[in-house]
Amino acid sequence: MKISIASGKGGTGKTLVATSLATSLASPRTLVTIADCDVEEPNSYLFFPDRTLIDRKECLVPVPFIDEEKCTHCGKCSEVCAYHALAVLPQTVLLFPELCHGCKACTIICPEKAVCETTRSVGEIFQARSGCVEIIWGELALGEARTTTLIKAVKKKAGDENVIVDCPPGTSCSLVESVRGTDFCLLVTEPTPFGLYDLDIALRVLEKMNIPHAVLINKSGMGDRNVYKYLEKRDIPLLMEIPLDRKIAELYSRGEIFAEKMPEWKAKFAGMVRVIEEMIS
């Protein structure tokens, strides 16, 4: 099963939940993979200081190469480019690689066959192992604006068996690509007005994508009861609450997985997964 951990708002505790969930399910008989899809600022691997790096490779994407000797500067390649990655001038063709989506339309339409394909790196993919937990994450190259290509590569590397996807914050393309293809999405929120506002947007996205989902409330005991009222009104399952606890906050701030230090939570996380399995079966 592949479970995504998401939220509309940043700082709600996605990584706290993802790392605790993974260590609660991992055993000598079960390898659990964390796929950290927050490629702009991955941090799941920091909670496994004893990790061993297994693999590190660049994420390459296709981009066009213009053979100026063949090119007649007819402009057809720039006309067909939906992302304005090409600009044809009287004496040369300018390529803006950060805008290219690798659709190959320019290669297909060129009457002189002056466009061929090369590659460029948009970031790196890392694979590490810590006990019975595998951590896979991506690091986006500086200056890159699009994250979805690297997110796809991270998810492909992670596979589909016993995977916890630690999603980026927000509800943009990065989140959509991260939750796409997962069996279930657990939305982490907090009982505050900001938490409720962003939770509502994230739920609408998941409903459009037809992904089964439920909610976990982190830092319960603070804020107000509006999130609870919202969940009751919309009949959305609340699977777990993690209290606003100083000990949990201190462990997290030191880069420690709180379920490891407070083992009673391992049983709670494992029980939550059993409920999820019943919900999607």
CA dist 197 and 202 (Å) reads: 9
Give the containing element (helix H, strand E) for 142. none
Domain ranges for the chain, please list them. 2-50+131-280, 62-121
Fold of 62-121: Alpha-Beta Plaits (3.30.70)
State the CB neighbour count (10 A cutoff) for residue 90. Answer: 5
CA dist 211 and 180 (Å) reads: 8
pLDDT in tens, the chain (281 residues): 899 999 988 889 999 999 999 999 999 999 999 999 999 999 999 999 999 999 999 999 999 999 999 999 999 999 999 999 999 999 999 999 989 988 999 999 999 999 999 999 999 999 999 999 999 999 999 988 889 999 999 999 999 999 999 999 989 999 999 999 999 999 999 999 999 999 999 999 999 999 999 999 999 988 789 999 999 999 999 999 999 999 999 999 999 999 999 999 999 999 999 999 999 98
Residue 278 contacts residue 212 (beta carbons within 8 Å): no
Q: Given this structure, which CATH class describes domain 2-50+131-280?
A: alpha beta
81 to 73, 87, 114, 179: CA distances (angstroms):
15, 9, 15, 28
Per-residue pLDDT at 145: 83
Residue 158 contacts residue 138 (beta carbons within 8 Å): no
Predicted model pTM = 0.91
Residue 50 contacts residue 75 (beta carbons within 8 Å): no
CA dist 161 and 53 (Å) reads: 21
